Amino acid sequence: MQDIVNLWPLLGIAAIVVGFLLRFNPVLVVIVAGFVTGIAAHLPLADILEKLGSGFLNTRNLPLILLLPLAVIGLLERFGLKERAQAWIAHIKSATAGRLLIVYLFVREVSAALGLTSLGGHPQMVRPLLAPMAEGATENRYGELPADVRYRLRAMSAATDNVGLFFGEDIFVAFGAIIFMHNFMLESGGIQTEPLHIALWGIPTAVCAFLIHAFRLRRLDRRIAAELSGLNQQALKKQGGE
């Protein structure tokens, strides 16, 4: 007979979800979730406090790690990083937002599969470079963009980074989730697997994700072309009528 797994500690996850949905203070939510998990796991109060304290000490330098890149990106944007990216992409006549994002999706997946997950990201790549380049490529073809199209391009740029990272890192053999799956299957079901085999089985999923999202990006190009061409024709008719 195998030991029954205690699932009550998972209540800590529910506490985090409820706390964030109700928009409580994030620090308070995490502390409460830690106490809920510890109590459900029958840990002594001293052990719960010890783990919360050690977790705080291990992450005390996290704000500096997060804020320093933001400061650097802010300085680059102040000195024209967005404008230079848009001007550069404008010289490529065949560039469209969809084609640009497909290339970035491929690079992001391949680099994440090699463990280079920090090469992209929303603050350091999407906001200062990728989204402005997608907007610049579209403006180069259709002129000034409506606000909804501009926001749609920004959202799709962020989504492209997410898809490339999420499915690319599953191929990296030293990724934490792969090690977790290996240990879970070994300890729970006695299933002997190799992390390399788990990573290799992530390749078909990554390929499918690339093809599906690339199709979505091509469809984005067609929709934007139809929408903006229609708006331009309406504007020309109004000018002719006047």
Residue boundaries of the structural domains of the chain? 1-60, 68-241
CB–CB of 152/191 below 8 Å?
A: no
- What does the pLDDT look like over 151-184, one tens digit per residue? 999 999 999 999 999 999 888 877 777 777 777 7
pLDDT band at 1 (very low <50, low <70, confident <90, very high): very low
Q: Could you tell me the sign of the dihedral formed by the alpha carbons of 95, 98, 101, 106, in that order? A: negative
CA nearest to 41, candidates 29, 51, 27:
51
- What letter does residue 69 receive in the DSSP assignment? H
What are the residues whose beta carbons fall under 8 Å from the beta carbon of 213, sequence distance 6 or more? 105, 159, 160, 163
- The share of the chain scoring above pLDDT 70, in percent, equals 83
Distance of CA 94 to the CA centre of its chain: 27
Q: What one-character-per-residue DSSP string does 132-163 give? A: HHHHHHHHHHHSSPPHHHHHHHHHHHHHHHHH
pTM summary value? 0.68
Residue 232 has pLDDT above 70, yes or no: no
CB–CB of 101/160 below 8 Å?
A: yes
CA nearest to 88, candidates 156, 137, 139:
137
